[in-house]
Amino acid sequence: MRVDPSTHPTVGTAPDGTVLTSAPQDTAVDHATAAARRVVDALLRTDRTNANLERVAEELNSIAEHLEEHAPAVAERLVDMWAGEGVTRHDPVTGPENAIAPPLVVEGREDGSVQSVVTLTMPYQGPPGHAHGGVSALLLDHLLGVANAWAGRSGATAQLNVRYHRPTPLFEPLTLTGRLVAQDGRKINTIGDIRTADGTVCVSVEALFVDKTVPRPR
Ligand SMILES: CCCCCCCC/C=C\CCCCCCCC(=O)SCCNC(=O)CCNC(=O)[C@H](O)C(C)(C)COP(=O)(O)OP(=O)(O)OC[C@H]1O[C@@H](n2cnc3c(N)ncnc32)[C@H](O)[C@@H]1OP(=O)(O)O
């Protein structure tokens, strides 16, 4: 099921398996961003001596110039970015329009949790062959925010306590899970983890969110 653009679905209003993130579309911007993501990955993988990197730099700079020529003022662009209901296409975790985002596709489950399966690659590397701890924290922070939305709440992260149990492997499917576990007025407690396919926990988090509306640019 796709997200209704007028209201954010929650566990009470949408069935199991509801996609809570903005799916990649068959649009030029999504195609361009997917290509940019591919370039970031390929730049890290390519042979440093044999690839013609001077030509690559020239062509990429020419592309950047074209994009910058058509960029409106930042304030104007921000209004445009925040015109939807909160499911963003530009965030660094799930945004199909953000080349930095893996991007995660998050599903809401009927048990109140949210889940995402992702395979991380070279751009997200920390220790050899494994995910950077800051990347794991980023992905979980955002996933927990989506878990709050699925539970009908929203808030800013006030605390994110991260426990790294064991290194998180790249190049294999990881399952990220999050759920809201307690609420006390404006305070929201949300937990989550990252596991390998055999269920081994690599990272777990406990977070405090505080309900606070950040005004949208307009
Ligand atoms: C827009 C609508 C969308 C709807 C649709 C949803 C679609 C969903 C899709 C996608 C979800 C997106 C997911 C995004 C997820 C990413 C989240 C982030 O990255 S957020 C950026 C990083 N976080 C910050 O920048 C916060 C910076 N800090 C602050 O702004 C404030 O400090 C804030 C809001 C956290 C608290 O400030 P105060 O003034 O509002 O509230 P005070 O009175 O200080 O605290 C309230 C209670 O909380 C406790 N508290 C506050 N901070 C605490 C802390 N760090 N540790 C422990 N307790 C804390 C206090 O002690 C107080 O508790 P007592 O009521 O007295 O019991």
Interface confidence (ipTM) of the complex: 0.93
Of 75-79, 81-85, 124-128, the poorest mean pLDDT is in 81-85
Tokens of 119: 């395979």
Give 209 Cα–ligand 1 centroid separation in angstroms: 5
Ligand 1: lining residues by beta carbon, under 6 Å: 8, 85-87, 141-142, 145-146, 149, 154, 156-159, 185-187, 208, 210, 212
The whole-number average pLDDT for the span 19-28 is 92
How far, in Å, from the CA of 118 to the mean position of ligand 1? 27
Its pTM stands at: 0.94
Nearest ligand 1 atom to alpha carbon 85: 5
Task: For residue range 100-140, list pLDDT tens digits in order.
Answer: 999 999 999 999 999 999 999 999 999 999 999 999 999 99
Q: Please tell me the residue having the least CA distance from ligand 1 atom 63.
A: 187
| CA 191, 194, 199, 202 torsion-angle sign | negative
DSSP H helical segments within 89-195, as ranges? Answer: 133-150
Indicate which residue's Cα is closest to atom 53 of ligand 1.
158
The backbone torsions φ and ψ at residue 205, rounded to the nearest 5 degrees and listed phi first, read -135, 150
For each of the domains in the chain, give its residue range(s) and CATH number, in order of start. Answer: 1-218 (3.10.129.10)
According to the model, what pLDDT value does residue 218 have? 85
pLDDT given at position 84: 75
